[in-house]
Chains A and B, each alone.
Chain A
Amino acid sequence: MLNEFAFALINGLANGMAVFLVAAGLTLVFGILKILNFAHGGFFMIGAYVAFTVSGRDNASGFLYLAAAIVAGGAVAALGWAADRAIFRRLRQVDEAYSLIATFALLMVCSGAVKLIWGLDYRSISPPDAWAGAVQIGPLFVPSFSLLVFGLGVVVFILLDLAIHRMWFGKIVQCIAHDQWMAGVIGFNVPAIFTGSVIAAFFLAGFAGGLLLPNQALSPELAGSFLLQAFVVVIVGGLGNIRGAFIAAFALGVVESLNSVLMPTYPGFAIYIAMIAFLLWRPDGLLAHRKDDGAAAPAASLPPPPAIAIPPATKWMAGLIAAAAFLSVPLWAHEGLLFIAGLTLIEAVFALSWNLLFGFAGLATFGHAAFFAVGAYLVGFALKSALGVPFPLLLLMAAALGAAAALLVGSIAIRRTAGIAMAILTLAVSELVRLTIIRTHALGRDDGLSAIPRPSIDFGFAILDLSSSRAYYLFLFCVCATAAAILWALTQNHFGRVLRSIRQDPARTEFLGVPAMRYRLTAFAVAGAAAALAGGLQAPWSQIVTPDAANYLHSTQPMLNALLGGVDFFWGPAVGAVLFSALAYTLRNLPGLSELITGGTLLVVVLAAPSGILGSLAAMAGRRRTGPGASLAVEASERQHA
């Protein structure tokens, strides 16, 4: 037992240090740019690929291994510098949620580029000869590469800590990170130092990619493999704090090894549970500077919705045309296109439900797929095991379960956390849901549930058979339209007005005598119900449900849809879903390029038109109606407000 634990501990700590190597760059980038960079995984992956190109598959030389990592660091530093110039600079003034989504788009661009340049193959790279064996410590045989990674983690930490906390330039960088304007006033060359530290931080990302290249499968999936754990470490350590990240990485290693000894059948659970518990205890992280309570400062961080509204007649017209178009799909489309159209309707409801939280209640959750998965698995399981529950009731049960799950998650997440901490907390919860599914035999583990039959509904006097695609599509259309109409009504009535007030200024809303927390929780439950309903509709439509339904990548889909369409408009997410589906359908045979284009489009939207397609259309229409002079005045005052 003791040996087993010692072995697990060494492995855990080696992994913890590997995570630290990735997290170090992430936390430094946050410290300087104040952006939590999802694309870090992409940069890390590019580093690994560059190192692979330099050293080749069967590199035996330790020197070449190190040299390749340094080259990788240099290449990624150059990319990071360019990304800062082109993208990050523009994200500094926007809301956290927007910059998170923008960096996610950049991650898509990175992985698209990697697929295009290096292909889709998995490659395994062995460590250089000197580190390929194992070392005997007492009764244990420990892979020497694990020891190397552990040592590298410690060395990198010591060097960074010395540089940041002990050296003069570290202090200057801290000073600039704290207050750029003031640093400029007292005479530092802010742009130069700033650029230098950005390059250094990104160098670290690529360097880590090169160092961690051996002993794992090199593939375009690499971007995600360390990313979540690195996020955990950075958040738990306190954003931007290198010492906190190191301690957290160490703790992660210990937790992981305890996990593998004490709960060997549930790998990975303990990390997320520990992290959720930790975030509830200290939402700001281990070593974060305590924020002053700041209650006097208005919390309205989101840009106010555009001043120009779309005229109601136009809206009704567009809605009718869209509905007619979707209703007519079974008349002219082939099976494949019909399937895509159905998925689009489901994704639209899913995205609308997410945007009820983001666009109306001001809550950015990153784990919305969990509720979708809950609904999908409930319906999939019930249909597959022919439980005999009427399908409409089954859908209602899915919605109820989704609402209950959302209430549970929301009552923890909303009460204790906000902003980035809440984003990561919800992400962790959805990861737990996914891990639970993967471990549950009845839910088909990794493979999911396949061959789910389509239901028929018995009305007593007649039976509605939904087994054909066309029939189910029409049913799907009706349910999605009803769900969307209910969500719409909820955003326009008293409830919606309160939510929009809360989004603009939660504390102010409380001072109208409104329990803002309860409204937010209600919104959470409604959104959870709608997401679960979407999931429930999807199970019999695609006739398969896999754990990917709860994957964090699936959580980002509604965000991308909502942002593309326009988060300030109720129908924005639906418009985005249609556009995204069309884009994905057109580019379906071009792996890599599709991600590149999708990610690139999204980046352009976030940077150039943060109010989305509908926002830009509305602004254009308004300009035509009121003439250029008037709209310039509006824009000027909008800018002033921002």
Chain B
Amino acid sequence: MLDVRNVDKSYGAIDVLRDVTFSVDEGAAFAVIGPNGAGKTTLFKVLTGEAFADRGEIVYRADSVARLPAWRRIGAGIGRTFQTSRVFPAFTVEQNIVVALEARGRSSGEGRPSWLRIAPSRGVVEEAARWAGEVGLSHRLLEEARFLSHGDKKRLELAMALSLRPKLIMLDEPTAGMSPVERSRSVALIARIRREFGLTLLLTEHDMDVVFDLADHILVLNYGQVIFRGPPAEIRGNAAVRDIYLGQDDDA
């Protein structure tokens, strides 16, 4: 579904990504891990279109997307959430999702919002409520997003990303900064949504429990290079990964 081939990216003299190659199969749950500064965030930026790769190719469903701007990639079916959740603070939960839904209508051409219409269409409003329900935010529908808790913001973000009906969704540290209770709830939510919508998942995460709970495939980056690629079962036995990454906190 997503093929990343020989991607290089450097900022000035620092090579952040070096010859990164991997592919994500349709329906997979693919986790990218690595110590701080390994290049996870840059990889995410290059894949989502926030930054462009210096060299290399990114192919999504047989189309090259490496040179496409971010908004076109979203339109093509790549969704994402952010490390620090980014919702529109002055909008209500409902308005946040409505904006996303109208954007989808626009880019898919299925329901281009009319210029002559002031309020969003009834269909859009109802669908927004449905998505809020999917992530468990029905009771806060009319609350402004800035008043939401950290965890609820992340759920709202997930609802916005999902309402764009992506085929591939990229989650940037979906449980960062959450309490253990919130974390396990989020993991359950993500697993359920992935099942229900048949999503392909690409995530980065620091919490290894979350990675092992969700991912069926793991890629380990270190200093911008891929040092391991394979199923979770193999990673525990991999000496290189142990040294560089897991070795730091064996107990985890």
Check if B103 sits within 8 Å of A296, measured CB to CB. Answer: no
Q: Given A500-B90, A641-B89, is A513 in contact with B106 using a C-beta cutoff of 8 Å?
A: yes
Q: Which residues of B contact A300 (CB under 8 A)?
A: 89
- Chain A contacts for B88, CB-based, 8 A: 500-501, 504-505, 508
A512 at the interface (CB under 8 A from B): yes
Contact between chains at A637 and B147 (CB < 8 Å): yes
Please name all residues of chain B whose beta carbon is closer than 8 Å to the beta carbon of A637 when the two chains form the complex: 146-147
Interface centre among A295, A490, A497, A516 (most CB of B within 10 A): A497
| Size class of the contact patch on chain B | 35 or more
Q: Are B70 and A494 in contact (CB under 8 A)?
A: no
B222 within 8 A of partner (CB): no
Binds A, one of B20-28, B109-117, B213-221, B230-238: B109-117
B223 interface residue, CB < 8 Å from A? no
Q: In chain A, residues 491-509, which have Cβ atoms closer than 8 Å to a Cβ of chain B?
A: 492-495, 497-498, 500-501, 504-505, 507-509
B120 neighbours in A (Cβ, 8 Å):
494, 497
B115 CB contact (under 8 Å) in A296, A493, A508: A493
In whole Å, how far is A132's beta carbon from the nearest beta carbon of chain B?
54
Interface set, chain A 478-525, CB cutoff 8 A to B: 489-490, 492-495, 497-498, 500-501, 504-505, 507-516
* In the bound complex, CA of A511 to CA of B84 (Å): 14
Q: Smallest CB-CB separation from B157: which chain A residue?
A: A508
List of A residues within 8 angstroms of B86 by Cβ: 298, 505, 507-508
Residue-wise interface mask of B (15-55) relative to A, using a CB-CB cutoff of 8 A (1 in contact, 0 not): 00000000000000000000000000100010010110000
Among B116, B120, B146, the most chain A Cβ lie within 10 Å of the Cβ of B146
Q: Among B11, B51, B80, B89, find the residue whose CB has the most chain A CB atoms closer than 10 A.
A: B89
Which of A296, A505, A508, A512: most chain B CB closer than 10 A?
A512
Complex Cα gap A504–B83 (Å): 18
Query: In the complex, which residues of chain B have a beta carbon less than 8 angstroms from the beta carbon of A509?
Result: 99, 103
Tell me if A307 counts as interface (CB < 8 A to partner B).
yes
A524 to chain B, nearest CB (A): 17
Q: Is B225 an interface residue (CB 8 A)?
A: no
- List, in ascending order, chain B residues with CB within 8 A of A500's CB: 88, 90-91
Whether B103 and A498, one on each chain, are in contact in the complex, defined by CB atoms closer than 8 angstroms, is yes
Are A494 and B90 closer than 8 Å at their CB atoms? Answer: no
The distance from the CB of A139 to the nearest CB of chain B, in whole angstroms, is 51
Which residues from chain A contact B106 at a C-beta distance below 8 Å?
494, 513-514
A513 touching B164 in the complex, CB below 8 Å, given contacts A295-B45, A298-B84, A501-B91: yes
Given known A300-B89, A305-B90, contact A501–B147 (CB-CB < 8 A): no
A304 beta carbon closer than 8 Å to chain B: yes
Question: Is A293 part of the binding interface, using a Cβ–Cβ cutoff of 8 Å?
Answer: yes
User: Cβ of B8 < 8 Å from any Cβ of A?
Assistant: no
Cβ–Cβ contact B102 & A494, under 8 A: yes
Number of A-B contacts (CB under 8 A): 102
- Whether B252 is near chain A, meaning CB under 8 Å from some CB there, is no
Q: A568 — nearest CB in chain B belongs to which residue?
A: B90
Cβ contact within 8 Å between B89 and A512: no
Closest residue of chain A to B118 (Cβ to Cβ) is A492
Contact between B74 and A511, CB atoms less than 8 A apart: yes
Give the shortest distance, in Å, between A311 (CB) and chain B (any CB): 15
User: Roughly how many angstroms separate A305 CA and B147 CA in the complex, as a whole number?
Assistant: 13
Please name the residue on chain A nearest to B144 by beta carbon.
Answer: A307
Cβ 8 A contact of B117, one of A293, A493, A514: A493
**Cα of A515 to Cα of B106 in the assembled complex, Å:** 10
Chain A residue at minimum C-beta to C-beta distance from B121: A494
Q: Is A497 touching B90 in the complex (CB atoms < 8 A)? A: no
B197 neighbours in A (Cβ, 8 Å): none
B66 adjacent to chain A (CB < 8 Å): no
Q: Are B107 and A513 in touch, CB under 8 angstroms?
A: yes
Interface residues of A in 454-487 (CB under 8 A from B): none
Contact B71 A489 (CB under 8 A): no
Q: Does B75 contact A (CB under 8 A)?
A: yes
- Which of B88, B89, B116 gathers the greatest number of chain A CB atoms within 10 Å? B88
A507 CB contacts on chain B under 8 angstroms: 50, 70, 86
| Residue of B45, B83, B99, B114 contacting most chain A CB atoms (<10 Å) | B99
What residues on B are CB-neighbors of A510 within 8 Å? 69-71, 74
Q: Are B71 and A501 in touch, CB under 8 angstroms?
A: no
- Bound complex: CA of A581 vs CA of B86, how far in Å? 41
In the complex, the answer to whether B144 meets A497 with C-beta atoms within 8 Å is no
Q: Check B202 for interface membership: any CB of A closer than 8 A.
A: no
Measured CA separation A305–B90 after assembly (Å) = 6
Most buried by B among A489, A507, A510, A513: A513
Please report the C-alpha to C-alpha distance between residue A504 and residue B113 in the assembled complex, in whole angstroms.
Answer: 21
CB-defined contacts of A516 to chain B, threshold 8 Å: 71
A256–B1 alpha-carbon span in the complex (Å):
59
Residues of B within 8 A of A307 (CB): 144
Q: Does B100 contact A (CB under 8 A)?
A: yes
Q: Is B128 interfacial (CB-CB < 8 Å)?
A: no
Would you call B98 an interface residue if the criterion is a C-beta within 8 Å of the partner chain's C-beta atoms? yes
Closest chain A CB from B216 CB (angstroms): 26
B183 to chain A, nearest CB (A): 21
Separation in Å of the B171 CB from the closest CB of chain A? 13
Contact across chains for A514 and B51 when beta carbons are under 8 A apart? no
Distance (whole angstroms) from the CB of A116 to the closest CB of chain B: 42
Is B50 touching A295 in the complex (CB atoms < 8 A)? yes
Complex Cα distance, B87 from A511, in Å, reads: 11
- Tell me if A494 and B146 are in contact (CB < 8 A): no
The answer for the CA separation of A489 and B118 in the assembled complex, in Å, is 7
Is B113's CB under 8 angstroms from A511's CB? no
Question: In this complex, what residue of B is CB-closest to A298?
Answer: B86
Question: Chain B residues with Cβ under 8 A from A505's Cβ?
Answer: 86, 88
Can you give 27 A-B contacts (C-beta < 8 A)? A296-B83, A304-B90, A305-B90, A493-B113, A493-B114, A493-B115, A493-B117, A494-B115, A498-B103, A500-B88, A501-B88, A501-B99, A505-B86, A507-B50, A507-B70, A509-B103, A510-B69, A511-B80, A512-B103, A513-B74, A513-B103, A514-B71, A514-B107, A515-B71, A637-B146, A641-B89, A641-B146
What residues of chain B have their CB less than 8 Å away from a CB belonging to chain A?
A: 11, 41, 45, 48, 50-51, 69-72, 74-75, 80, 82-84, 86-91, 95, 98-100, 102-104, 106-107, 113-120, 144, 146-147, 160, 164
Closest 4 CB pairs of A and B: A513-B74, A494-B113, A304-B90, A512-B103
